[in-house]
Amino acid sequence: MRSLEIFGWGGFAVLLAGVAVVALLPPGSLAWFVAALVALLALGMGVAMQVLHRRFLTVEGQASEMRLRMALVMEAVPGGFALCDREERLSLVNSRFRDVFPNLALEGKLGELLPDLVATVEEGVDHQLADGRWYRITRHVLPQGGSTLVAIDVTPLKRREEELLAREARQRVVLEMAPVGIWELDAEGKTVFANPQTGLLLGGRVPGSLSEAGLYPVVAGRPTAEVLRQQPQQRGALEVECDPGGEGPPRRMLLASSVPLPAVPPALPGLPLSHTRILTLLDITERRVAQAEAERLAWQDPLTSLGNRALFQRMLEERLEVGGVTLLFIELGGLGRLNERYGHALGDALLIASAARLTQAVRADDAVFRLGGNKFAVLATGLETKAASWLAERLHQLLLDTFRHGGLEVGLSPAVGVARSPPVAADADALRRAAELARQRSAKEDRVILYEDALGDEAEHKHRIRDAVTRAIAAGEFRLDWQPQFDAGERRLVGAEALLRWHSAALGREVPPSELFPAAADVGLLEEIDLWVLEEALATKSRWAGRHDAPPVVAINVSAASLREPGFAEMVMEALGRHDVPPDELEIEIPEDVPARDLDALAQTLDALCSQGVRLSLDDFGGGASSMAHLVQLPVNRVKLDRSIVRGLPAGARESAVLRAVAAVARSLNIELLGEGVEKMEQIFALRGQGCTVVQGFLYGRPVPAEELVPPLANSDDRIIP
Ligand code: C2E
Ligand code: CA
Ligand code: CA
């Protein structure tokens, strides 16, 4: 360009020189013509050159403007940008590109400048700067040759990627370390992913699909693994058993929980969503074993390993629902005695041996239980009367056989009671009661007892009495009969004993005290009845006040249960006051069945009554339970010699001996002796002979209603005393 300019300006100079020569030379000369021609030529050349020069100058300006614009655009690009020419030389580079490659020198060839990048840069390569920032460099080859390099800041993307990678790594560790099998399955039940624990639980390797895993539901009737597979969208948990078989791990119990995963969008549009779900497998074998063990202990008698009472109760009810149950109640009589004599080790050994004998003798379907202590039960199904008796006899015989233990030979007295349903109602309580009744009778009679209807009636009867007695007081069904007591010598009326009489409307008959009191004891009504008797007796006594033909003292019978009541003495005193009866006109008969261990407790009550002047007598002495201790320890005024002793007098040697002994003690303690149940004259003689001063019995008078003993005033004057 420069030469064009020089040529241009040179032309003008030649033109000026030509013009000067033309002006100086004379016109028309050859030299003038030559000079004019040269000047003209110079003018043309100068003009041409200048035109050309101007032209060149415009093109060059346009090119540099383009470059400037390019540079500006490149600066505006959000990242590094470089342009390479056909020779792979960097021709244009923006400042951010220089930031990325600060040591970059232009002019060099790309391959020399960034050798590492050129090989891979077309796919894009990530490049980290000294400050930690990341740039992704991509190269694009231009169609007309040359290429561009773009460097984009991918630091946030890189961070995110790193975070994801770290998270993934952590999750992988968790999946691998988890003691739970985590198994991802597709909609067809094929394995997508499984952690190592899944393989361990399923026999050493991860099966290709759910159906290959060999999982069986534990509880039949619940959805199977197959159902789990068919319903991938359902959440659910199922206890399954895994039995890999072969050399693999033993059978395991697994808790398989299925959770659907969010559906994954398809790789290509139009394809269905892909459903997968996670099946977690938790090994619950140990838990189940422990549970089974706890259950076993809850239902088992630890000594004999037989089922315990709770299991008996459950099975009895279960079997009754099916029907046809034979129940045997067995008690090992004599075990307590052997325990005391030889120690509990022998007792335990006998219980274990008995359990073994029973278990071996029954059929596989029958069950033997230890109900506690020396009591066992056997539950058998579907036995006819004969078969049931035969079984009971056989077990009875087995338990009668001698037991050998540590050089000892001992025998037991088993009681075996049998009841069957039907005929007994299919009710656990009823059947148990029936078998228990049979067992009790077996213990008494020393033979196997098969529950019969008679026994059933007995139970039913008791039940009805209990029911009736509960309503008797309110229904006003009780009354008192009075039996007179006489001075043994002078036949003077010295007192009368109140005896309870009950006509039950519900039972439609007179119920004797021997039935009434046990039933009242069963329903806890003894105290209430005693209270009624006290009230009624005192009311009668106060009606008799001032009557010389009336008994001066009234005696009432009181049960041991009432005497044990802490407020009993106060209650008696209060009633006496209310009826205006002096305390020494009331006698309280203390029953013979007061246990010796209760004497101390009773003594307080009795002392209180005694100190107030209430008279006390010891009933039924010599008949059974009472002992001399009662006589010595209790503050009694009178002892009543039992009917059973009087009955044997005067001939009976034992009765005479008892009479003598009791009379001697009574005398020495200054206690009055009364003979009960006197029916014959000779009994009176024998009694009188030993210092007995008061008598009571049919010979003198039967128990009669109050109006009969002390008739209303109008006709009571000429009352005859036998
Ligand atoms: P207990 O206190 O020994 O009453 C005497 C029993 O002997 C009465 O029988 C009476 O009827 C009977 N007895 C009287 N003399 C003779 C006789 O010569 N020969 C014969 N064989 N028996 C005679 P009962 O009334 O059946 O009373 C039986 C038992 O019931 C009484 O024996 C007493 O323990 C109890 N009992 C009666 N009434 C009451 C009462 O009101 N309260 C309490 N807690 N128990 C009572
Ligand atoms: Ca009595
Ligand atoms: Ca008596």
Evaluate: CB of 624 within 6 angstroms of ligand 1: no
Is 697 close to ligand 1, i.e. is its CB under 6 Å away?
yes
Q: Taking 60 as the threshold, does the pLDDT of residue 342 lie above it?
A: yes
Task: Give the SS3 label for residue 567.
Answer: coil
Pocket of ligand 1 contains residue 679 by CB under 6 Å? yes
pLDDT at 154 over 70: yes
When pLDDT is cut at 50, 70 and 90, the band that residue 624 belongs to is low
pLDDT value of residue 185: 85
Ligand 1 atom closest to residue 640's alpha carbon, by position in its atom list: 3
Decide whether any atom of ligand 1 lies within 6 Å of the 496 Cβ: no
Q: How many angstroms does the Cα of residue 557 sit away from the middle of ligand 1?
A: 9
Chain Cα centroid distance, residue 223? 25
Q: In the 8-state DSSP scheme, what is residue 109? A: B
d(CA 411, CA 335): 9
Cα 619 from chain centroid?
A: 54
CB of 649 closer than 8 Å to CB of 656: yes
What are the boundaries of each domain within the chain? 10-55, 79-157, 180-259+275-290, 301-451, 465-708
Q: Are 463 and 434 in contact (CB under 8 A)?
A: no
Q: Which atom number of ligand 1 is nearest to the Cα of residue 529? A: 42
Q: Is 533 in the pocket of ligand 1 (CB under 6 A)?
A: yes
601 band by pLDDT with thresholds 50, 70 and 90? confident
Reported as type and span, the H/E element at residue 238 is strand 236-242
Instruction: Give yes or no for residue 673 CB within 6 A of ligand 1.
Output: no
Closest CA to 592 of 537, 544, 565, 629: 629
- In CATH, the architecture of 301-451 is 2-Layer Sandwich (3.30)
- 287-315 mean pLDDT: 88
Residue 221 binned pLDDT confidence (cut-offs 50, 70, 90): very low
Amino acid at 149: L
Q: Please give the average per-residue pLDDT across 436-452, as a whole number.
A: 88
Read off the pLDDT band of 430 (50, 70, 90).
confident
Nearest in space to 450 (alpha carbons), one of 413, 426, 417, 423? 417
pLDDT at residue 56, as a whole number: 66
Give every CB contact of residue 439 below 8 A, 6+ residues apart in sequence: 329, 330, 331, 415, 416, 417, 449
Q: Does residue 106 surpass a pLDDT of 70?
A: no
Sheet of 367-372, strand order: 367-372, 375-381, 325-333, 413-421, 449-450
Under the banding of pLDDT at 50, 70 and 90, the label for residue 592 is confident
The rounded percent of the chain whose pLDDT value lies above 70 is: 89
Secondary structure string (H, E, C) spanning 285-322:
HHHHHHHHHHHHHHHECCCCCCECHHHHHHHHHHHHHH
What lies within 8 Å, CB to CB, of 608 at 6+ separation is 569, 570
Residue 153, ligand 1, Cβ within 6 A: no
Indicate the pTM of the whole model. 0.47
- Ligand 3 centroid – CA 589 distance (Å): 8
Gap from CA of 684 to ligand 3 centroid (Å): 17
**Whole-number average pLDDT of the chain:** 85
| Common-topology check for domains 79-157 and 301-451 | no
- Report the atom number in ligand 1 closest to the C-alpha of 499: 38
Cβ contact 701:499 at 8 Å: no
Q: Residue 404: helix, strand or coil by DSSP?
A: strand
- pLDDT bracket for residue 223 (50, 70, 90): very low
Determine if the peptide bond prior to 711 is cis (ω within 30°).
no
Rounded Cα–Cα distance for residues 214 and 389 (Å): 50
Residue 718 has a pLDDT of 47
In a mutational test of the pocket of ligand 1, which residue from 557, 589, 682 has the highest number of ligand atoms less than 8 Å from its CB? 557
Letter string b/e over residues 394-424, b meaning 16 or more CB atoms within 10 A of that residue's CB: ebbeebeeebebeeeebebebbbbbbbbeeb
User: Using alpha carbons only, how large is the chain's radius of gyration in Å?
Assistant: 62
Using the predicted structure, report yes or no on whether residue 118 has a pLDDT greater than 80. Answer: no
CATH of 465-708, one of 3.20.20.450, 3.40.50.10490, 3.40.50.300, 2.60.40.10: 3.20.20.450
The predicted-structure confidence for 54-94, as pLDDT tens digits, reads as follows 776 666 777 788 878 888 888 888 888 888 888 888 888 88
CA 698 to ligand 1: nearest atom: 18
Quick one: pLDDT at residue 5? 63
Whole-angstrom Cα distance, residue 284 to residue 108?
A: 72
Q: What is the mean pLDDT of residues 604-614?
A: 94
Pocket test for ligand 1, best of 469, 477, 497, 499 (most atoms within 8 A of CB): 499
Please give the pLDDT value at position 721.
Answer: 43
pLDDT digits (tens, 9 = 90+) for 383-420: 888 899 999 999 999 999 999 988 888 999 999 999 99
Q: Is the CB of 216 under 6 A from ligand 1?
A: no
Instruction: Compute the average pLDDT of residues 155-167.
Output: 92
Which residue has the least CA distance to atom 24 on ligand 1? 513
Share of the chain above pLDDT 90, in %: 40
Least confidently predicted of 192-206, 388-402, 492-506, 667-681: 192-206
CA pair distance 249, 285, nearest whole angstrom:
12
Q: Does domain 79-157 have CATH number 3.40.640.10?
A: no
Is the separation of the CB atoms in 536 and 480 below 8 Å? yes
Distance CA 673, CA 688 (A): 10
Q: Provide the pLDDT for residue 609.
A: 95
